[in-house]
Amino acid sequence: MGTRASAVGVGLAVIALFEVSCGDHTRTDDPRGTLEPGPSVGNEVPSNTPPVPSEDAGTPSTPPPAGGPGDAGTPPDAGEPQSAGPWPVDAVLDYTQAFGVGTPQSVGVDEGLNLWLLDGNRIGVLRPGDTAPTWTTGVGQARQPFGRDSLAIGSTVICGGEAGRAYVGYRAAEMRRAEGISQRTYIPGPNEPYYTPERYAEYQKGDLDAVRLQPDGTVALEEHIWRTTGASNAGKQIGIHNTNDFHYEEDRSILNCARVTRGRHRGDLYVTTNHGVTRIQGLTYNSHRHPGWYLVTQNPDGSRDESLQCPPMYGLGLARNGDVLVANEQMLGVLVPSDKLEEWDREFTWEGPTPWTFKGFNEVLNGQASDDYWRAFEQSTSGRYYLGSAEFGVWAMTPRSRSAGNWSKLAGLPTERILSLKATDDGALYIGTEGAGLWRLEADGKTLAQVGQVPGQRVLQLVYEPTVTPSMLLVLTERGLTVLRGP
């Protein structure tokens, strides 16, 4: 997260001290002032950098997977849930005790109902019928020791994909400026001005691995995600970067992920990053979208500067109708995805193939330039939106226009520190706190109670699998994994 800056002199002087950055864009607090959101720009190319001819590395042939799906399991029917699936149907079951899954940092479920576990530099898989997970160490970006100058400074999240596949996210350090280059995230290609092999190697850091389950239960790298829909990116095996222009390496750290479990886009994956939200189909991505806004500062000489504000994005949810719900530290938005992956990054704000139906901020809580520390964004079956903040509790919101909402804070929780939310098919909202365990808000939006059967006080992640009956809610805490059936 960023370190807050102060305003000095005439207008605003902005100092940026971020662990992960939004290109060269900066952000600051305002004294609870309200600034109108500017137009969102999606895949922006800074206007002060001249276009550079792209180098074509050719298009390599598609490599085969690093092994077949093995015991990948059978994907559930694409329609309504038909069966209980292969896992126990106990209303509450501690998988750390029952299956020895330990205390992973992230958990996911693939279409074959394999359970995926992430713990630092190792990946575990618990297949239907297994009594314990099988662990594999040193796959993909974790094949080198974690560190600033390595392929990653650490792993972040894991999400299931098609049967036998998972996606593993990593964090990369902020890029340093290079001589002659004004934009921190700009990387020249071979035969271009200021090209260096060291800077070009930055493309390989962080990002996302696709991994495959092997017949013996171990995991192998399928591919470090690099295929995208942009013309300038063709054939360049350089990880996730801006789809519209490969020179801009703005998505370096994966912060959250979610697989679409129903509807016509079932199987799509969304990942949020230090910059925005990226959409993935199989091994191909389109990056990125974000609810950005422009901070205008007045300089002593009378000139004005504009800087795009796009803080790290942790909040990610999927509405029942397929809308994509995203929230960064300052803003939130609701996107309607089209059927075409190549249209994901086409930004026309309220129009176009992938429009925002809402893009704004919580003006009741903070001014536009103040961090709200959103960590989760969900929509209940009632249609009401809920956002969880790492510092300011849970907020309910119903839009009153495309950029403003009616906001109310949820009362009754013992802490303001929220790490996760999940809306379930029975109309409830599950609330994962930092320090006070798991809570359930009933469909009436008023009745609130702690879920005492789940061990642990720090709810790291909530994953919902509605394709089985009873449905599965995976609750990951510092004490391990517990699964609730039937929410």
Domain-embedded: residue 329: yes
pLDDT of residue 75: 54
Task: Return the H-helix or E-strand segment holding 200.
Answer: helix 197-200
| Domain encompassing residue 330 | 92-485
pLDDT of residue 295: 84
Q: How far is CA 358 from CA 143, 276, 343, 401, in A?
A: 41, 16, 18, 8
Residue 13: inside a domain: no
User: Number of structural domains, the chain?
Assistant: 1
Q: Is residue 66 situated within a structural domain?
A: no
CATH number where 310 lies: 2.130.10.10
297 CB contacts (<8 Å, ≥6 apart)?
Answer: 11, 12, 13, 14, 304, 305, 306, 307
Buried b (16+ CB within 10 A) or exposed e, 97-118: eebebeebbbbbbbbbbbbbbb
What pTM did the predictor assign?
0.85
Residue with structure tokens 């938005």? 333
**Three-state DSSP class for 450?**
strand
Q: Is 16 exposed, middle or buried (0-12, 13-18, 19+ CB in 10 A)?
A: middle
- pLDDT for the residue numbered 341: 98
C-alpha 150/C-alpha 436 separation (Å) is 36
pLDDT tens, per residue, the chain with 487 residues: 333 232 222 233 322 323 333 433 333 333 223 333 333 333 443 333 333 333 333 333 333 333 333 445 555 554 555 799 999 999 999 999 999 999 999 999 999 999 999 999 999 999 999 999 999 999 999 999 999 999 999 999 999 999 999 999 999 999 988 989 988 999 999 999 999 999 999 999 999 999 999 999 999 999 999 999 999 988 899 999 999 999 999 999 999 999 999 999 999 999 999 999 999 999 999 999 999 888 888 888 888 888 777 899 999 999 999 999 999 999 999 999 999 999 999 999 999 999 999 999 999 999 988 999 999 999 999 999 999 999 999 999 999 999 999 999 999 999 999 999 999 999 999 999 999 999 999 999 999 999 999 999 999 999 999 999 999 999 999 999 999 999 9
For residue 408, is it within any domain?
yes
In a domain, 275, yes or no: yes
3-state helix, strand, coil in the chain (%, to 5): 5, 35, 60
Q: Are 483 and 470 in contact (CB under 8 A)?
A: no
Neighbours of 77 (CB within 10 A): 10
Q: Is residue 68 part of a domain?
A: no
Establish if 404 belongs to a structural domain: yes
pLDDT of 250-303, one tens digit each? 999 999 999 999 999 999 999 999 999 999 999 999 999 999 888 888 888 888
Determine, yes or no, domain membership for 64.
Answer: no
pLDDT of residue 19: 33
Block residue for tokens 């600033």: 148
Residue 286 burial (10 A CB sphere; 0-12, 13-18, 19+): buried
